Amino acid sequence: MVDPLGVGLGLALTLVVVVLHFSQGAERPIPDDISQQVIERRAATVPETDFPEPMNRSIGGGAVAAGAVTAGGAEAEGELGEAAEEEVDDDPAAIPDDEAEVFEVEYVKEGTTIEVKENETLLEAGEDEGWDLPYACREGQCISCAGHIADGGNSEQYVKHYTNQMLGEPELDDGYTLTCVAYPISDLSLETRESP
Ligand code: FES
């Protein structure tokens, strides 16, 4: 059987909850949009720099940064161009075949002396002979291709290393070379498969 007192109490409670819900909802203040304040406050904590901000970081300064780049652009481009040109000039591989000087290189362990042009590396020249010489990076960044110049003195008296990121002055003084980036500048005797 339904208890009328219980039903009445239930209805009364429901009514109270509904009234409270709507009265609070109507009175709750809508918060202000503070996102701009937050952005400004954060910006104020970033220290000023002495250098121009990159375009993507400067506030309203994109045009200035772009202008600065444009103003210095021609000069920078000129310098870059010269650097690139120098690099090409500096690359023995860029010497045309018909202008390249030829040197006598004795490959001691292979028992042969061959002619190597100043625009080819000791490694390439040996490979052209069909010898299975060691190498890995072919960029002067490891030591797999190392060899020893047996003529005495610093190896750079005999070869130009186009890049050499492995051999320091003591190793060069001992006659070691990275054959993958070593271009002859003189006759020489090479012992392949020799590392410091
Ligand atoms: S193969 Fe790596 S330095 Fe020559």
Sign, CA dihedral 103-104-108-110, equals: positive
pLDDT digit string (tens) for the chain, length 196 residues: 556 666 666 666 666 655 555 555 555 566 677 777 767 777 776 666 555 544 444 444 444 444 444 444 455 555 555 555 555 568 999 999 999 999 999 999 999 999 999 999 999 999 999 999 999 999 999 999 999 999 999 999 999 999 999 999 999 999 999 999 999 999 999 999 999 9
Average of per-residue pLDDT values in the chain:
79
Contact assessment for residue 106 and residue 116, using Cβ atoms and an 8 Å cutoff: no
Instruction: Report the nearest atom of ligand 1 relative to the CA of 137.
Output: 2
Calculate how far, in angstroms, residue 180's C-alpha sits from the geometric centre of ligand 1: 6
Q: Three-class SS of residue 70?
A: helix
What's the helix, strand, coil split of the chain in %, to 5? 45, 15, 40
Instruction: Report the nearest atom of ligand 1 relative to the CA of 179.
Output: 4
Instruction: Report the nearest atom of ligand 1 relative to the CA of 166.
Output: 3
- The residue with tokens 């209805």 is 11
Instruction: Report the nearest atom of ligand 1 relative to the CA of 135.
Output: 1
Q: What is the pLDDT of residues 54-65, one digit of tens each?
A: 444 444 444 444
Cα 127 vs. chain centroid, distance in angstroms? 30
Q: Three-class SS of residue 98?
A: helix
Among 184, 195, 185, residue whose Cα is nearest residue 124 = 184
Domains of the chain, each with CATH number or no CATH: 35-90 (no CATH), 100-191 (3.10.20.30)
| pLDDT score of 63 | 44
pTM > 0.85: yes or no:
no
| pLDDT score of 82 | 58
| pLDDT score of 57 | 46
Q: What is the pLDDT of residues 39-86, one digit of tens each?
A: 777 777 666 655 554 444 444 444 444 444 444 445 555 555 555 555
Calculate how far, in angstroms, residue 103's C-alpha sits from the geometric centre of ligand 1: 22
Calculate how far, in angstroms, residue 138's C-alpha sits from the geometric centre of ligand 1: 4
Q: Which run of H or of E encompasses 112?
A: strand 112-117
Among 121, 122, 139, which is best to mutate for testing ligand 1, by the most ligand atoms less than 8 A from CB? 139
Calculate how far, in angstroms, residue 84's C-alpha sits from the geometric centre of ligand 1: 23
| pLDDT score of 90 | 86
Separation between Cα atoms, residue 66 and residue 189, nearest integer Å: 56
